[in-house]
Amino acid sequence: MTPSRARITAGVAALALLLAGCGGSGAPPSQAVNPAPSPSPTPTPASVFTKPAQEALSVADVQSVIARAAAEASARNLPAVIAVVDRVGNVLAVYRMAGARATATTRSNANGANIDAQGVTVPAELAAIAKAITGAYLSSGGNAFSTRTASMIVQPNFPPSTRTVGLESGPLYGVQFSQLPCSDLSARFGVGSPFIGPKRSPLGLAADPGGFPLYKNGVMVGGVGIMADGDYGFDAEVVDVDDDAEEHIALAATAGHAAPETIRAERISVDGTLLRYSDAVAAGLKSNPASPPAFAGLAGSLVAVAGFNAASIIAGTPYGSEASGVRNAAAAEFNHPDAFILSDGAGANRYPIRAGTDAGDVAQPLSAAEVRAVLEEAFTIMSRARAQIRQPLDSRAQVSLSVVDTRGQVLGLVRSPDAPVFGIDVSLQKARTAAFFSNARAASDLGVVTTAAGAADANVRDFVSRTNSFFSGTGFLTGAFGVSNRAIGNISRPYFPDGEAGRPPGPLSRDINGWSPFSTGLQSALIVQNLVQVLGGGDPRQCTFLPNTGSGQNRLANGIQIFPGAVPIYRGNNLVGAIGISGDGIDQDDMIAFLGASNASTRLGGSISLPPASIRSDQVQVTVAGTPVRLRFVGCPFAPFVDTAENNVCQAR
């Protein structure tokens, strides 16, 4: 998830971008098309992870969370909407206090030129649910992140402050546009097995303080979100300490289910900067969470939220159980005792390893054996990698891994036991993003995107012309290069190079004056219509209006992601798919994807590989104010493994 990255001055940042990204110096692999291999299964590795205990919130637990929140809200004379979810996003209850505001509005742009999802009024219940899901999905047994933490890591400068203009963007810049209600991966309330996850969030991930994870007996079991003041915003100034009423209400709600202090965000540093967990503290509470009122005596009511909860309190589902939809893989499903997969709640793997579906587009699609090799090799790298955002220090990284074909079809999805849940959807977004922008159809598909009504979507199409102009004649959107997610991140920031204040935006970004967490550029432009459909009571099943493939697959069915952690996969000079990783550090994500694909290539005798070095995105160079600047391919961490002292592990691959 978050990276091991240097907070550097703008001049040093420019110098770094002048250097080719890791992995650009190796010789191109054979261009021949080899028969798809069928290697013998590798021996079963030893377990290195501890599986989370199967704890869950009870109905009584949910009632106590709501009662504590309501008591603090009453003490502040600020009636609230309170949402509680379990670890996989099942909405366990939504409670509206008497007199609570009915709506919230996403933060408007300072200059009034609201774009995409800026200045949008939404039901307060949806905002509360999004906050609760954010606290649950970003957290694990090794880290506890809140919506304030999310705010800190998604903005154009890290850490966000008027004092840090000129530093590069937040490590999870763009993650707020994940877990979208239109996602084809996310499970639906009331459809199929009732409790499988991960469930979708109505507004993606939230950056508005007032959402925390919930723990039970030290085990991550869910989240709570509060919406009360009508402003669904973010904290643009990390230097000061806010007296935020919603955050105090949420903090009171966590009493008895608080995150262990040893894993809270303020114990986790990124490049020497400690993350923020909460500006609210127990001493600032106006109620006594140790003596909450009886739930039955509260002034308010449970409310139904279409598509999320039916005006009732339900118990949480133990994460790791079949019913939760995320469980330990059987040996036949994936050859590692620590592997978890997504299940349909009735025993079947939702995303079993399979061959590519794009025979009409590529000469030789990925075989199931090749997909398995990529996932197994990447899983092995993950099991050795040192996590960035997990306590205790030197813990092994835990991530979700996805492989797709050139049509965006999922060919396999696997994860470690305690990886943050948000990474499931994000790993798939990343894989699809790398495959899409490496595809010869990228420009043509974006150029014919329509609105929901079928009209040309000028908002999206403008990014095509801007990108073509920016890369003038390089063939960037026409399949000439194997494009990684790190490269897409380079051109999706409001300054190019990233962090250099005063520079124009990257071609896939909004100008800094039009930026907010609700409007990032092409990423938000692609999906904003689907959010409008959801707010109107609809239930879209894909996030973009790109033209579907002949088989009906949408290449970006859950949107794009614009921070590192995915590389395309080639057969000779031909794109055949991509691998996406998301979890415990974005440099770690890059390394796991890169080395997973590279090691699978070696194991398979070169039948598939990383893109040839000569066409990787780090060969793309543009001139900025007279200075040549290269895109990146991947960035791998220093001292990356817990079991060896190896370094520079991505060089010459």
DSSP state of 228: -
- DSSP string covering 161-211: STT-BTBPPPTTTTGGG-S-TT-SSSB-TTSSSTT-SPBP-BTBS--SS-E
Which amino acid, 612?
P
Per-residue model confidence (pLDDT) at position 42: 58
Phi-psi region of 125 (alpha: psi -120 to 50; beta: other; left: phi over 0): alpha
Per-residue pLDDT tens over the stretch 496-505: 999 999 999 9
- For domain 59-322, the CATH class is alpha beta
Low-confidence ranges of the chain (pLDDT < 70): 1-43
Per-residue model confidence (pLDDT) at position 2: 40
φ/ψ (deg, to 5) at 105: -125, 130
CATH fold of 10-39+338-630: Beta-Lactamase (3.30.450)
- Domain residue spans of the chain: 10-39+338-630, 59-322
φ/ψ (deg, to 5) at 444: -65, -40
Per-residue pLDDT tens over the stretch 264-285: 999 999 878 999 999 999 999 9
Measured from the Cβ of residue 565, the count of other Cβ atoms closer than 10 Å reads 38
Per-residue model confidence (pLDDT) at position 14: 36
**530: number of CA atoms within 13 Å, CB side?**
29
Domains 10-39+338-630 and 59-322 share a fold: yes
Give the pair of three-digit tokens for residue 206.
């939230």
> Does residue 558 contact residue 543 with C-beta atoms inside 8 Å?
yes
Give the pair of three-digit tokens for residue 264.
């809270």
φ/ψ (deg, to 5) at 127: -65, -40
Which amino acid, 190?
G
Phi-psi region of 23 (alpha: psi -120 to 50; beta: other; left: phi over 0): left
Give the pair of three-digit tokens for residue 100.
């609570």
Give the pair of three-digit tokens for residue 133.
């899901």
- C-alpha–C-alpha distance, residues 579 and 402, integer Å: 6
